[in-house]
């Protein structure tokens, strides 16, 4: 694979701005809440700008790994600090930047233990950034576990609705995922005989036998699959998303579930392509079940956040189906869907967070007629819901379209069933919109204020991103293709 080393270390700069922000927050006295918010906004803004620059500066015609940085970390174990960007992780780095910044703005009104919240939040995002950009197996695992570190407290302290249960369930599920990943990683390390954790060296064809690949792939797929919300290991996700505070739900559903899917792509598929081809049928089956199951369960929910939680399970099923096709088109669709689903879910949670902070309820029957009381806030939610239904003109349409075209060719039956399930998703999204935002209003909420311009900024950014990539998908698609097509061509047949 072609590697270009960085003239300016963009990737380390992203990590550094997160870490410096974290340290700055820790040094500010707890009482100065306004200052903490501004510092958080500035540093998350810097990361957003950096990740956007990175996205635009990537040379699509050249392809391969760019902005690479490499330094030996623990030579005796073959661990190196190796970051690089390619078409697979660039969209996700951009996504993380967007969700991070908008998440900080969404949590602007937080009053309880502000300093600790933003410190944990920065640590979480640092880990996610680190994972997306790393090309070293050891670092990928470390970043995965570091992201668990702040998660428990973020949900248990600042969450609501059975928060302690949700936080504990989520943490234990994700750690069991890592219990499968670590043995697989060390297994590959030991079997390769190369004494390195470098993905580029390990992904050369012929290093692992087919049997080794099958074995390691299964462990890695299940381990990362737990985080990606693959059915039947998804049960932590709706509970955790409901319990988490708004900003954390955004990062969690928007970015962290993608970490799981990305882990399957970067670690399992990159290193064990034969295992991937062997287990593709199983992956497609689980993904199709996830799509249908998420949609049907979502239909029965009365809690707004549970609706979003189950729609995430369904949408992440689409990502899984794309990965299971073993085609370049499927990979394109999967990565595209990861990006757009992240933005869309962040927008949904952000809108629900606003409504919940005002009405103090997320129960759909208690809401109603909100579009007359707070028309702007409702619009944001409705745009996100339309995106979730896959309406053309918004970015999600393209991701789902690409995945389904690819899936039809390979798995006709599962593809058709999954498309039908998307109709159910559309149905329940519309039902939510109808019941919560139209129909008779609830008198109690008649006096509530609408979103002001400033409060609306994070949601505007998210809507703008959805519309931009909805109208101009090739901006994203070209980047992804620069990685997926060479990767598929390089696979042994």
Partner 1 sequence: MMKWVLFVPELFYTLMALVFFGASLSKKVDPRRLYVWALALAGMGLLVSVLFARQEGMLFFDAYRVDLFSQVFKVLLALGTFWVIFSCSELKGINERQHAEFYFLMAVCTLAMMMLVSAVELLTIYVAIELSSYSLYLLVSMRQRADEYVETGIKYFMIGVTASAFMIFGISLLFGMVKSTYVIDVVRVLPTVIAQPAAVVGLVLALSGFFFKQALFPFHIWAPDVYQGAANQVTTYIGTASKMAAAAMVIRFVGFSGGESGVLIKLLVALSILSMTFGNLVAIIQKDLKRLLAYSSIAHAGYMMIGILSMSQRGFASAIYYALAYLVMTYACFMVIMRIAEDGRNLQIKELAGLHKRSPLLAMTLMLGLFGLAGIPPTVGFTGKFLVFAAALEKGYLALVIIGMINATISLYYYLIVIKAAYLLEPVHPYPAVYVDSWTRYLSIILVLAMVYLGVFPDQFVALTEAAARSLP
Would you put residue 440 in left (φ > 0), alpha (ψ -120 to 50) or beta? beta
- Asked if 168 interacts with partner 1 (CB under 8 A), we say yes
Backbone angles phi, psi at 62, to 5 degrees: -80, -40
Positions 374 through 413 that interact with partner 1 (CB under 8 A): none
19 lies in the site for partner 1, by CB under 8 A: no
Smallest gap from residue 480 Cβ to partner 1 (A): 30
Per CB under 8 A, 183 contacts partner 1: yes
Q: Which of 90, 148 has the CB closer to partner 1? A: 148
Task: Specify the stretch interacting with partner 1 by CB under 8 A; choose among 142-150, 247-255, 282-290, 420-428.
Answer: 142-150
81 lines the binding site for partner 1 (CB under 8 A):
no
- Under the criterion CB under 8 A, does residue 366 sit at the interface with partner 1? no
Task: Please tell me whether residue 76 binds partner 1 under the rule CB under 8 A.
Answer: yes
Measure the CA–CA gap between 430 and 238, rounded to whole angstroms.
20
Residues 108, 173 contacting (CB under 8 angstroms): no
Write down the least CB distance from residue 460 to partner 1, Å. 35
For tokens 């050891």, what's the residue?
Answer: 138
Distance between CA atoms of residues 88 and 479, nearest Å: 8
Closest approach, Cβ 113 to partner 1, in A, equals 8
145 contributes a contact to partner 1 by CB under 8 A: yes
- H helix count then E strand count, the chain: 21, 3
Stretch that binds partner 1, among 144-152, 204-212, 299-307, 436-444 (CB under 8 A): 144-152
Closest CA to 305 of 360, 363, 346: 363
Choices 177-185, 238-246, 358-366, 370-378 (CB under 8 A): range interacting with partner 1: 177-185
> Can you give the three-state secondary structure of 32-93, one letter per residue?
CHHHHHHHHHHHHHHHHHHHHHHHHHCCCCCCCEEEEEEEEEEHHHCEEEEEEECCCCHHHH
What residue has token string 């928007």? 254
**Residue 283 touches partner 1, criterion: CB under 8 A:** no
Length of the chain: 493
Q: Interface mask (CB under 8 A) for partner 1, residues 95-134, using x and -? A: ---------------------x------------------
| x/- letters, 205..224, toward partner 1 (CB under 8 A) | --------------------
Sign of CA dihedral 390, 473, 43, 377: negative
Instruction: Tell me which residues touch partner 1 (CB under 8 A).
Output: 73-77, 116, 141-142, 145-146, 148-149, 152-153, 156-157, 164, 168, 171-172, 175-176, 178-180, 182-183, 186-187, 189-190
């Amino acid at each position: 694979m072609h590697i270009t080393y960085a003239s300016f270390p963009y990737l380390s700069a992203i990590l550094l701005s997160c870490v410096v922000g974290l340290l700055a927050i820790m040094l500010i006295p707890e009482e100065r809440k306004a200052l903490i918010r501004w510092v958080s906004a500035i540093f998350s803004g810097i990361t957003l700008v950096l990740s956007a620059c990175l996205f635009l500066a990537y040379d699509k015609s050249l392809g391969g790994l760019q902005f690479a940085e490499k330094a030996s970390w623990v030579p005796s174990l073959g661990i190196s600090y190796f970051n690089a960007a390619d078409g697979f992780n660039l969209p996700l780095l951009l996504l993380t930047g967007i969700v991070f910044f908008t998440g900080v703005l969404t949590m602007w009104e937080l009053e309880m233990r502000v300093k600790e919240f933003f410190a944990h939040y920065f640590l979480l995002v640092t880990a996610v950034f680190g994972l997306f950009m790393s090309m070293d197996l050891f670092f990928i695992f470390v970043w995965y576990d570091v992201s668990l570190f702040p998660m428990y407290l973020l949900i248990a302290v600042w969450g609501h609705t059975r928060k302690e249960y949700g936080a504990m369930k989520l943490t234990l599920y994700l750690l069991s995922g890592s219990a499968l990943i670590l043995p697989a990683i060390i297994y590959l390390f030991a079997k390769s005989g190369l004494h390195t954790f470098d993905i580029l060296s390990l992904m050369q064809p012929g290093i692992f036998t087919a049997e080794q690949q099958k074995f390691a792939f299964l462990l890695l797929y299940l381990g990362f699959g737990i985080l990606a919300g693959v059915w039947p290991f998804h049960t932590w996700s709706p509970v955790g998303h409901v319990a988490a505070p708004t900003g954390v739900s955004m990062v969690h559903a928007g970015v962290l579930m993608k970490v799981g899917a990305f882990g399957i792509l970067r670690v399992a598929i990159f290193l064990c392509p034969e295992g991937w081809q062997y287990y593709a049928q199983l992956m497609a089956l689980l993904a199709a079940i996830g799509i249908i199951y998420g949609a049907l369960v979502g239909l029965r929910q009365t809690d707004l956040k549970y609706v979003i939680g189950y729609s995430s399970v369904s949408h992440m099923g689409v990502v899984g189906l794309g990965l299971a096709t073993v085609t370049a088109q499927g990979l394109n669709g999967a990565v595209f869907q990861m990006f757009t689903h992240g933005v869309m879910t962040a927008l949904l949670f952000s809108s629900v967070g606003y409504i919940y902070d005002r009405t103090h309820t997320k129960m759909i029957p208690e809401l109603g007629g909100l579009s007359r009381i707070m028309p702007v806030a409702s619009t944001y939610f409705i745009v996100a819901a339309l995106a979730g239904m896959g309406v053309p003109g918004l970015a999600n349409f393209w991701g789902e379209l690409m995945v389904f075209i690819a899936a039809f060719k390979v798995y006709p039956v599962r593809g058709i069933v999954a498309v039908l399930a998307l109709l159910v998703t559309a149905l329940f999204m519309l039902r939510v919109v109808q019941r919560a935002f139209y129909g008779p209003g609830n008198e109690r909420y008649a006096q509530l204020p609408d979103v002001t311009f400033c409060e609306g900024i994070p949601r505007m950014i998210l809507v703008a991103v959805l519309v931009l990539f909805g109208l101009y998908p090739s901006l994203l698609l070209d980047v992804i293709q620069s990685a997926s097509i060479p990767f598929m061509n390089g696979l042994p047949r």
